[in-house]
Amino acid sequence: MNKKISAGSGVQIICAVFCPFGVGYYLSYFFRTINAVISENLSTELGLGPANLGLLTSFYLIAFACAQIPLGIALDRYGPRTVNGFLLMIAGVGATIFAFAQSFETLLLGRALIGLGVSAALVSACKANAIWFSADRIPLMNNLIGAFGALGALSATRPVELFLQVVSWRDIFGYLAVTTVLIALVILTLVPEKREVRPAQQNASEQLESYKNIICDRYFWRVSLMYASSGAAFVSYQTLWADPWLRDVAGLEQAERANYLLAIQAGFLLGLLITGMVADLLRKTRYQAVHVFGGGVFLLIGVQVLLAFGITSGLFAIWFLYGLLSSATFLAYAAQTAHFSDDVSGRAMTAMNFLMFALAFFCQWGI
């Protein structure tokens, strides 16, 4: 079990490792996105205004961002199974608190615990991919993990609207709490732990030195700044501000807006599959995942310009393309994994994540 997986063992590892981590990321994205759909319910029941809604939604992001630096050290030291399983338990507790909350402050606490609990969902999956799969397949496998997240975001749009006709938002969070704890138990008890060679335990100064080497790396900043700026805008639109934009700029009713939100997530899902396959097809050429990433972000900027100017002609296609092209940002994880060694790749990915989610927090609350 010390080698990367072979074709013969591929199905077993996909079922035992890839899928549990994928479902964990599905839940992470569901939690991240659901506030865009239940915002009116929260406003009606608890009297929350736009500022409170923005702060509530962004509390997920700030808790998520604050966890990233220590999370990188933990991932490289203890491995993805232990870290992700433990943190998902915390997310389950947060969902329970959110479901029973009777005040804005309690909602904030629940939302923050959810953000902390799912903070390892993506990077732990990418770390597991780096452990179990060969380097040239990582862009595809990471994007397939991203597809789980896109499905989670899809599930948090129109399907939630339909569920809200028969159950309350509190019921939904209760179901989410139970599901999250069950997935955490699956990861902790059923996912195999690969006997990889891990670095010796580092003291605080050595850990800080490893981060110093990362943040002094020019490649890290070239990839991370592109990812942080484009990713923060997408997360802010996707999880909160797309719905008010569609209401105030395009003048759409709630049912129509839900369909547009669904289109964003559908475009994101399709884009993850396309960019992952393109990067996989190009793996034997001189082009790498980072080139597909850069090209996708370049095209994405053009779509963002249309949104910034409030263009409403062909609006459905614009939002679909926005989701489609935003998926290219996911290749930044493969780009960082390819550049950094296995013993610090977790730290590199979480440092990049910190930049993106910290910026997303200010985009959501500042706007």
End-to-end CA distance of the chain: 50
- Crossing angle (nearest 10°) for helices 104-117 and 50-78: 30
- Give the whole-angstrom CA distance, residue 19 versus residue 131: 15
Q: Using CA atoms, how far apart are residues 48 and 169, in angstroms rounded to an integer?
A: 15
Q: Residue 305: its pLDDT value, please?
A: 94
Whole-number pLDDT of residue 195: 56
- Rounded Cα gap, residues 284 and 280, in angstroms: 8
Q: What is the pLDDT of residue 1?
A: 41
Report pLDDT for 224.
96
Torsions phi, psi for 330 (to 5 deg): -65, -25
Residue 367 pLDDT? 59
What is d(CA 74, CA 86) in angstroms, rounded to the nearest whole number?
12
| pTM, to two decimals | 0.84
Whole-angstrom distance, CA of residue 339 vs CA of residue 353: 16
Q: Which two tokens stand for residue 243?
A: 């719905």
Q: What is the pLDDT of residue 366?
A: 63
CB 242 within 8 A of CB 260: yes
Q: Residue 285: its pLDDT value, please? A: 82
The CA-based angle 336-115-110, given to 5 degrees, is: 175
Question: What is the reported pLDDT for 200?
Answer: 52
The tens place of each residue's pLDDT in the chain, 367 residues long, gives: 444 544 447 788 899 999 999 999 999 999 988 987 898 899 989 988 888 888 888 888 889 888 998 998 899 888 999 999 999 999 999 999 999 999 999 999 999 999 999 999 999 999 999 888 888 889 999 999 999 998 998 888 788 988 999 999 999 999 999 999 999 999 999 998 765 545 556 655 666 677 888 989 999 999 999 999 999 999 888 777 888 899 999 998 877 887 898 899 899 999 999 999 998 888 778 788 899 999 999 999 999 999 989 898 999 999 999 999 999 999 999 999 889 887 888 889 999 999 998 888 777 666 5
Backbone φ/ψ region at 61: left (φ over 0), alpha (ψ -120 to 50), beta: alpha
Q: What is the DSSP string of 261-284?
A: HHHHHHHHHHHHHHHHHHHHHGGG
For residue 7, the model assigns a pLDDT of: 43
The pLDDT assigned to 177 comes to: 98
Q: Are 367 and 57 in contact (CB under 8 A)?
A: no
Give just the sign of the alpha carbon dihedral 297, 302, 308, 312: negative
For the chain, what are the domain ranges? 7-192+206-366
pLDDT in the model for residue 65: 86
For residue 202, the model assigns a pLDDT of: 61
CA distance linking residue 356 with residue 366, whole number of Å:
15
Structure tokens at 337: 């994994």
User: What is the phi/psi pair of residue 203, to 5°?
Assistant: -80, 180
Q: Nearest to residue 18, comparing CAs of 131, 156, 115?
A: 131
CA-CA distances (angstroms) from residue 359 to 5, 118, 356?
37, 18, 5
Q: Which CATH superfamily is domain 7-192+206-366 in?
A: MFS general substrate transporter like domains (1.20.1250.20)
